[in-house]
Amino acid sequence: MRDYLGAIWNCRFFWLSLVKMDLTSRYRGSVLGICWSLLHPIAMTTILVLVFRYAFNMPDVRTFAPLIFTGFTFWGFFGASLVQGCGCFFQGESYIRQFPAPMAIYPLRNVLGAAFHFVIGLLLAIVFALSVGPDAHDSTRVSQLIALPSLLPTLMLLLLFGWSLSTLFGLLNVRFRDTRHLTEIALQGLFYLTPIMYSKTMFKNRMLGQVLQYNPLVPFLDLLREPILYGRVPSLMTYAMAASVVLLVTVAAAIALKIDERRLIFHL
């Protein structure tokens, strides 16, 4: 494992150039440029706030809006890690056939691109929460700023989580070409079972609240929302739960990659 990670690091100029090429080609000729990555969470947050504010007479918009925006920012990264990860090895097929590099760099390429947009959205979420978030007083802002460094280990966990998921779904899609389509369908159902548009406390004593206790994505949302929205450093239990999920997925990805890496070229 140590030698394998060293090989990935030695290829860093190669996969970093691939990430740069992906970002450049994505926004080449675009008027809004990188703002396109923020358009979806901003638009969905605006629509849902208007709907819940005027259709359901929800008064607590200052709490609701940053919560939704943070949720959509996370979901964008998670969804991109899965859906784009399904095609990561097909996307790098020409390089795989010519350049003997570790296969893990191809899902890493996609995840770094998704992480770039995620960090931009997260910075906007922080500014949003500090300016119009719940109880936007000086004392609350200070506590939020103090708690923000706790996002650094969260970002590392999310990066490893996304990398592992992209690897697993990329390998699965090579063997079963319908994986991407099934993943997109599954994401639609998982979206409503994850507290993206609502707080998990809203369903504390209901059936959905019990389901959320077993949702592995909830700890990651808590790690993001606690410091950004409420100025609290997440508990060690929350970090432990998120780290356990990451460890499980990472071990599964490493085993799957070890089994299929040398045979992968014959299935592309």
How confident is the model over 33-49, as pLDDT tens digits? 666 677 778 888 888 87
Query: For all residues of the chain together, what is the average pLDDT?
Result: 84
pTM: 0.88
Percentage of residues of the chain with pLDDT beyond 90:
32
pLDDT of res. 254: 92
Alpha-carbon dihedral sign for residues 181, 184, 188, 189: positive
Percentage of residues of the chain with pLDDT beyond 70:
87
Contacts 24+ apart (CB under 8 A), 15-24: 15/101, 15/105, 15/108, 15/109, 15/112, 16/112, 18/92, 18/95, 18/105, 18/109, 19/109, 19/112, 19/113, 19/116, 22/109, 22/113, 23/113, 23/116
What lies within 8 Å, CB to CB, of 221 at 6+ separation is: 70, 71, 74, 194, 195, 196
Contact in structure between 173 and 87 (CB atoms under 8 Å): yes
Residue 87: enclosing H or E segment and its boundaries?
none
Alpha-carbon dihedral sign for residues 143, 44, 217, 163: negative
